[in-house]
């Protein structure tokens, strides 16, 4: 799966480009020779991968709110992109309990605004809407979800992303079937990798604690998640964009799961132990917290549709995923060249084709 021929010199509109996944995707797109316009409300963390990579000097860096249709329409029209990747979101489950209305507004109406803006910008050919593995109604039974399973959501974040899937499906069926714009949605699991500095996420919590020589507190040790390196779903998003441009019949209007093979689905504690192997002196303590901010305990994805229809498959095993992630944060701790390491990891990943 090579992407250069599809993305070189292509104009891309990327929302959420200042975030964790957006920064990795921006760096990858730039390395393929794409011309990227980013649209995000803010830089969500300090430190941030976006700043560590010096991205604002290498792309068109716009600040704006996806809840503001007018601003979004104007920015997209000016950028005149062929491909839109929509990653901007309020992406944190716990934050969604503190601000449910803001989460619904950004994640549901933001998606409606992206699709509405895209259908009025004549250059747009492809839209990839990024949601999550949490869009499925989860009875905590541990069965891997397939794309045809019912959507739902207990916490406001999950419900808002299920809502964004319904918005995508409605736009696709109502407006895009006979249009020159093709669209697909991507449901990925929990991603890890260098450069995530969000609060209340396990890997950044480990990096912060270990970087200070402290013990990390693991609050949901038994939570089973389809952990994967951030580059895995991003390769899926790039593949979707590529096929929407070049062979749309196979993907248009469809949703795809991107997750590790079932046997790589591990608990939070197993991930911490795997990372500790690569970080001298790293320690953890399990302290289960019950503050009413409920998160699903069991979540796994069946990625066979993406394998069969997109030819997509995960490239890193669990131990490589933990090793690459720890390598990045150790380098951050020792003031290494993070931009160079990020590019090396992208190149290494692409070679695993
Ligand atoms: N990180 C994960 O494990 C994970 C897993 C599954 C899905 N996702 C999805 O991937 C996408 C990116 O997640 P991330 O982890 O990089 O998040 P992040 O918090 O690092 O980045 C969020 C981005 O969205 C932007 N944003 C937030 N609200 C906005 C608004 N109202 N208008 C414009 N921009 C806004 C932020 O400025 C930032 O660029 C999200 O859609 C998220 O739901 C993430």
Residue 292 has pLDDT above 70, yes or no: no
Name the residue at shortest CA distance from atom 19 of ligand 1.
19
48, 72 contact by CB (below 8 A): no
Q: Which domains does the chain have, with CATH numbers?
A: 7-351 (3.40.50.720)
Distance CA 114, CA 109 (A): 9
User: Is 90 near ligand 1, meaning CB less than 6 Å away?
Assistant: yes
- Tell me the C-alpha to C-alpha distance, in Å, between residue 314 and each of 73, 87, 228, 236, 261: 35, 20, 8, 9, 8
Token representation of residue 75? 């920015």
Two tokens, residue 20? 């964790």
Dist CA 63 CA 86 (whole Å): 15
Instruction: Give the SS3 label for residue 208.
Output: helix
* Strongest mean pLDDT among 120-129, 199-208, 279-288, 328-337: 120-129
Q: For residues 11 and 82, is the Cβ–Cβ distance under 8 A?
A: yes
Residue 91 Cβ contacting ligand 1 at under 6 Å:
yes
Q: Whose CA is nearest to atom 4 of ligand 1?
A: 190
Does residue 85's CB lie within 6 angstroms of at least one atom of ligand 1?
Answer: no
138 lines ligand 1 (CB under 6 A): no
More confidently predicted of 142 and 314: 314
Give 151's contacts (C-beta < 8 A, 6+ positions apart). Answer: 135, 136, 137, 162, 165, 166
Q: Evaluate the omega torsion of the peptide bond into residue 132 and state whether it is cis, within 30 degrees of 0.
A: no
Read off the pLDDT of each residue in 133-141 and give the average, rounded to a whole number.
Answer: 84
pLDDT at 25 over 90: yes
Q: Whose CA is nearest to atom 30 of ligand 1?
A: 65
Read out DSSP for 296-329? -SB--B--HHIIIII-----S-HHHHHHHHHHHH
Work out the percent of the chain whose per-residue pLDDT is above 70. Answer: 95
Ligand 1 centroid–CA 44 distance in Å is: 9
Q: Would you say the CB of residue 191 lies under 6 angstroms from ligand 1?
A: yes
Ranges 18-32, 62-76, 158-172, 214-228: which has the least confidence = 214-228
CA proximity to 88, closest of 128, 57, 118: 128
The answer to whether the CB of 203 is under 6 A from ligand 1 is: no
List the end-to-end C-alpha distance of the chain, in Å, as a whole number: 6
Is residue 263 very low, low, confident or very high in pLDDT (cuts 50, 70, 90)? low
Segments of 10-119 assigned E as strands: 11-15, 35-40, 60-63, 83-86
From the alpha carbon of 38, which atom of ligand 1 is closest? 39
- Give the Cα separation of 196 and 20 in Å (integer): 5
Q: Are strands 11-15 and 83-86 parallel, antiparallel or unpaired?
A: parallel
Atom of ligand 1 nearest to the CA of 196: 20
CB atoms within 10 A of CB 251: 23
Q: In ligand 1, which atom is closest to the CA atom of 134?
A: 6
Ligand 1 pocket member 135 (CB < 6 A): no
And the tokens for 173?
Answer: 């069926």
Q: What is the pTM of this model?
A: 0.95
CA gap 327, 337 in Å, rounded:
12
Q: Which distant-in-sequence residues (6+ apart) come within 8 Å of 319 by Cβ?
A: 274
Which has the higher per-residue pLDDT, 26 or 300? 26
Confidence of residue 353 (pLDDT cuts 50, 70, 90): confident
13 Cα–ligand 1 center, Å: 15
- The answer to whether 239 and 232 are in contact (CB under 8 A) is no
DSSP code for 102: H
pLDDT bin (cut points 50, 70, 90) of residue 296 is low
Residues facing residue 184 across a β-bridge = 128
Residue 286 and residue 218 in contact, taking contact as beta carbons nearer than 8 Å: yes
Q: Which atom of ligand 1 approaches the CA of 161 most closely?
A: 43
297 has pLDDT over 80: no
Residue nearest to atom 18 of ligand 1 (CA): 19
131, burial (CB in 10 Å: exposed 0-12, middle 13-18, buried 19+): buried
Tokens of 87: 């990653």
User: How far apart (Å, rounded) are the C-alpha atoms in residues 146 and 302?
Assistant: 5
Q: Residue 200: what pLDDT?
A: 79
pLDDT tens digits along 198-256:
887 899 999 999 999 999 999 889 888 878 999 999 999 999 999 999 999 989 999 99
Mean pLDDT of 159-186: 96
Buried-exposed string 266-292: b where 16+ CB fall within 10 A, e elsewhere: bbbbbbbebbbebbeebebeeeeeeee
């Amino acid at each position: 799966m090579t992407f250069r021929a599809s993305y070189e010199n292509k104009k891309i509109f990327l929302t959420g480009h200042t975030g964790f996944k957006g920064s990795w995707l921006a760096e990858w797109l730039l390395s393929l020779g794409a011309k990227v316009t980013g649209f995000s409300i803010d830089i969500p963390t300090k430190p941030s991968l976006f700043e560590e990579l010096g991205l604002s000097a290498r792309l068109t860096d716009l600040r704006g709110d996806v809840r503001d249709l007018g601003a979004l329409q104007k920015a997209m029209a000016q950028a005149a992109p062929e491909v839109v990747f929509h990653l901007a979101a309020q992406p944190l489950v716990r934050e969604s309990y503190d601000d449910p209305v803001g989460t619904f507004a950004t994640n549901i109406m933001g998606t409606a605004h992206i699709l509405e803006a895209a259908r009025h910008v004549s250059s747009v050919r492809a839209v990839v809407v990024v949601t999550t593995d949490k869009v499925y109604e989860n009875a905590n039974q541990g069965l891997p979800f397939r794309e045809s399973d019912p959507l739902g959501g207990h916490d406001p974040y999950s419900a808002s992303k299920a809502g964004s899937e319904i918005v995508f499906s409605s736009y696709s069926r109502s407006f895009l079937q006979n249009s020159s714009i093709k669209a697909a949605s991507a449901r990925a699991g929990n991603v890890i990798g260098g450069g995530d500095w969000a609060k209340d996420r396990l890997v950044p919590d480990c990096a912060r604690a270990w970087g200070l020589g402290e013990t990390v507190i693991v609050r949901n040790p038994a939570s089973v998640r389809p952990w994967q390196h951030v580059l895995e779903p991003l390769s899926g998003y790039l593949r979707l964009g590529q096929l929407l441009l070049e062979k749309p019949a196979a993907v248009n209007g469809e949703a795809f799961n991107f997750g590790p093979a079932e046997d790589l689905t591990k608990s939070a504690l197993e991930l911490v132990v795997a990372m500790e192997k690569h970080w001298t002196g790293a320690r953890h303590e399990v302290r289960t917290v019950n503050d009413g901010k409920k998160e699903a305990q069991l979540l796994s994805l069946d990625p066979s549709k993406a394998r069969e229809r997109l030819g997509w498959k995960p490239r890193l095993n669990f131990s490589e995923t933990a090793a690459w992630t720890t390598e990045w944060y150790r380098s951050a701790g020792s003031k290494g060249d993070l931009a160079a390491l990020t590019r090396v990891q992208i190149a290494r990943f692409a070679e695993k084709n």
